[in-house]
Structure 1
Amino acid sequence: MGEHLDADGFAPLRIKRVVRETSDAVSLVLDVPHHCSGRFRYQAGQFLTLRVTLDGRDLRRCYSMSSAPVEDELRITVKRDPGGLVSNWLNDTASEGVELLVAPPEGRFLLRDNHRGIVAFAGGSGITPIMSLIRTALATSVRPIRLFYANRSRDSVIFADTLSRLVDRHADRLTLTQHFDDDGGIVTPTAVESFVAAAGPADYYICGPGPFMDTVESAVRKSGVPRERIHLERFQVTQAPADAVAAEADVTTDEVVIELDRTTTAAPYRAGNTLLQTARTAGLRAPSSCETGSCGTCMARIVSGSARMLNNDALDDDEVAEGWVLTCQSLPTSRTVHVVYE
Structure 2
Amino acid sequence: MFDWKHSDSLSLTCSRKWQETPDTVSFELESPDTPLEFNFKPGQFASLGFMINGKEEFRAYSINSLPGETALQFTVKRVEGGLVSNFIMDELEAGAPVTLFKPAGAFNCIDCTTRLKVTLVSAGCGITPVMSMVKYWLANDSAVDINFIHMARSKESTIYFDQLERLDKQYSNFNLRLLLKDNRGTRYPQGRLNKEWLFTLCPDLQERTVLLCGPEGFMHDIKGYLQESGFDMNHFYQESYTPEAAVSQEPADEEAGGNVQISVPGFGVELEAEHGSLLVEALEQGGLPIIAACRSGICGSCKCKVEKGSVESTSKETLTEAEIDQGYVLACSSHIKSDVEVGF
Using structure 1 for the length normalisation, give the TM-score: 0.75
Contact kept? 2:247, 2:297, Cα under 8 Å: no
The CA distance in 1 between the partners of 2:216 and 2:159, in whole Å, is 19
Partner of 1:137: 137
Choose which of 222, 226, 229 in structure 1 pairs with 2:233. 226
Separation in 2 of the partners of 1:266 and 1:121? 47
TM-superposed deviation, 1:189? 4.4
Match of 1:249 in 2: 254
Displacement of 1:307 in angstroms is: 0.7
RMSD of aligned alpha carbons: 3.9
The alpha-carbon deviation at position 82 of structure 1 amounts to 3.5
2:26 is the counterpart of 1:27? yes
Q: Distance in 2 between matches of 1:178 and 1:120?
A: 11
Judging changes above 3 Å, is the alpha-carbon distance between structure 1 residues 12 and 308 closer, same or farther for their aligned structure 2 residues?
Answer: closer
1:277 and 2:281 aligned: yes
Tell me, yes or no, if the aligned pair for 1:120 and 1:147 is still in contact at 8 Å: yes
Q: Structure 2: which amino acid aligns with 1:157?
A: T
Residue 100 of structure 2, aligned match among 98, 103, 109: 103
Q: Could you say which residue in structure 1 is the equivalent of 2:295? A: 291
- Worse-matched range after superposition: 313-322 or 157-166: 313-322
Structure 1 residues 126 and 305: alpha-carbon distance in aligned structure 2, compared to 1, 3 A threshold: same
CA distance in 1, matches of 2:198, 2:319: 25
Q: How does 1:166-315 map to 2 (within 5 A)?
A: 166-172=167-173, 174-182=174-182, 184-192=190-198, 198-200=204-206, 202-223=208-229, 224-226=231-233, 229-232=236-239, 233-241=241-249, 244-246=250-252, 248-251=253-256, 254-255=260-261, 268-300=272-304, 305-309=310-314, 312=315, 314-315=317-318
The verdict on how the C-alpha distance between 1:84 and 1:28 changes in structure 2, with shifts beyond 3 A counting, is same
Return the letter of the residue paired with 1:42.
F
Q: Distance in 2 between matches of 1:115 and 1:286?
A: 36
Q: Which amino acid aligns with 2:289?
A: R
Paired with 2:228 and 2:177, the residues of 1 have a C-alpha distance of: 21
What are the Cα deviations for residues 238-287 of structure 1, in whole angstroms up to 9, with x where unaligned?
A: 3544xx314x334457355669xx77977544234212223334443234
Distance in 2 between residues matched to 1:228 and 1:324, nearest whole Å = 32
Deviations 1:202-222 (A, max 9, x none): 544332233323322333344
Contact in 1 for aligned 2:48/2:293 (Cα 8 Å): no
> Mean Cα displacement is larger for which, 125-134 or 204-213?
204-213
Q: Which amino acid letter does the alignment assign opposite residue 307 of structure 1?
A: E
In the alignment, the residues of structure 1 paired with residue 145 and residue 264 of structure 2 have an alpha-carbon distance, to the nearest angstrom, of 46
| 1:227 shift after superposition | 7.1
Structure 2 contact 306–341 (Cα < 8 Å) conserved: yes
1:146 aligns with 147
Greater shift, 149-158 or 79-88, is seen at: 79-88
For residues 119 and 33 of structure 2, the distance between their equivalents in structure 1, rounded to whole angstroms, comes to 36
Cα distance, 1:110 vs. partner?
Answer: 2.1
Look up the equivalent residue of 2:119 and give its one-letter code.
V
Q: CA separation of 1:269/1:240 partners in 2, compared to 1, >3 Å: closer, same or farther?
A: same
1:66 maps to a residue whose letter is: N
TM-score (norm 2): 0.75
Deviations 1:103-128 (CA, angstroms, capped at 9, x unpaired): 23433032225342433222122212
Does structure 2 conserve the Cα–Cα contact (< 8 Å) formed by 1:66 and 1:129?
yes
> How far, CA to CA, are the matches of 2:126 and 2:24 in structure 1?
12
1:62-81 alignment, distance < 5 Å: 62-81=60-79
1:183-206 CA-to-partner distances (Å, cap 9, x unmatched) read 545433443466576224554433
1:153 offset after TM fit, Å? 0.6
Q: CA deviation at 1:162?
A: 1.6
Q: Deviation of residue 18 (structure 1)?
A: 3.4
Cα distance in 1 for partners of 2:254, 2:175 equals: 49
- Give 1:235 shift: 1.8
- 1:128 to 2:134 alignment: no
CA gap 1:41/1:279 in 2 versus in 1, 3 angstroms: same
Q: CA separation of 1:339/1:176 partners in 2, compared to 1, >3 Å: closer, same or farther?
A: farther
CA distance in structure 1 between the aligned counterparts of 2:70 and 2:264, rounded to whole angstroms: 42
Residue 75 of structure 1: SS of its match in structure 2? strand
Structure 1 residues 56 and 104, CA gap change in structure 2 (3 angstroms): closer
Q: How much has 1:230 moved relative to structure 2?
A: 2.2
What amino acid is aligned across from residue 122 of structure 1 in structure 2?
A: S
| SS of equivalent residue, structure 1 residue 273 | coil
State the alpha-carbon separation in 1 of the partners of residues 294 and 14 from structure 2.
Answer: 22
Identity across matched positions, percent = 24
- My pick for the range that moved more, 98-107 or 300-309, is 300-309
Deviations 1:282-332 (A, max 9, x none): 4432343211233232245667745131xx494599799867643212223
User: CA contact under 8 A between 2:262 and 2:340: conserved in structure 1?
Assistant: yes
Change over 3 Å in CA distance of 1:45–1:210 after alignment to 2: same
SS at match of 2:246: coil
Opposite residue 231 of structure 1, the aligned amino acid is Q
